Amino acid sequence: MKKTILTLSLSSMMISGQVLAFELTSQDIKEGYPMAKTFEFSGWGCSGENLSPQLSWKGAPKGTKSFAITAYDPDAPTGSGFWHWVAFNIPADVSQLPRGADIQKLGGLESGIDYGIKGFGGACPPVDDGMHRYQFTVWAIPETTLSLTENTPAAVVGFTLNSVALAKTTLTATYTR
């Protein structure tokens, strides 16, 4: 008798016999579509409102004790991409963020990003550099508090998230100047 092995990704879980995927949606940004100027950085030659988009997620796996959120541009002409948002220790009972979210009011932390600030930094690709992708990712974390601080470099936070996350879900929007 031949055995069939079914492997589910870590970003899915079984509920009442149905697979519920860990999923990220937004009222402000859509997968593969350009973002509005509202989400453009204010500085570095950009004049947007520098607001983070509204985000909602569902289907986090069992054992999730907190969330982290990152926004990353893999197309930045740096050789290492560009971190636009690094937030963690967001309580597990949070499942959405309003536009312009204040992570600290939720009990979470934000570390420095590649603009040299803490908090959200909107899109600001170089003029005529073509389309850039902005990957907004929500990470399901099995710990209430990660051993990271607001001074932990974004790349170290990213490394840590990749090593401990139960699951992650990503929504990728675009921006061009």
E strand or H helix at 115, and its extent?
A: none
Instruction: Please give the pLDDT value at position 7.
Output: 31
Instruction: Please give the pLDDT value at position 111.
Output: 96
Instruction: Please give the pLDDT value at position 117.
Output: 96
Q: What is residue 124's DSSP assignment?
A: -
Instruction: Please give the pLDDT value at position 6.
Output: 32
139, 67 contact by CB (below 8 A): yes
Instruction: Please give the pLDDT value at position 136.
Output: 98
State CA 83 to chain mean position distance.
Answer: 10
Q: What is residue 140's DSSP assignment?
A: E
Instruction: Please give the pLDDT value at position 55.
Output: 98
Domains located in the chain, CATH noted: 22-175 (3.90.280.10)
Of 132, 136, 122, which Cα lies nearest the Cα of 175? 132
121, 115 contact by CB (below 8 A): yes
Averages of pLDDT over runs of 10 residues in the chain (177 residues) are 37 48 97 98 97 98 98 96 98 98 96 96 97 98 96 96 98 98
Instruction: Please give the pLDDT value at position 2.
Output: 41
Phi, psi at 156, each rounded to 5°: -70, -40
E strand or H helix at 19, and its extent?
A: strand 18-21
What residue type is assigned to position 16 of the chain?
A: S
Residue 89 DSSP SS3: strand
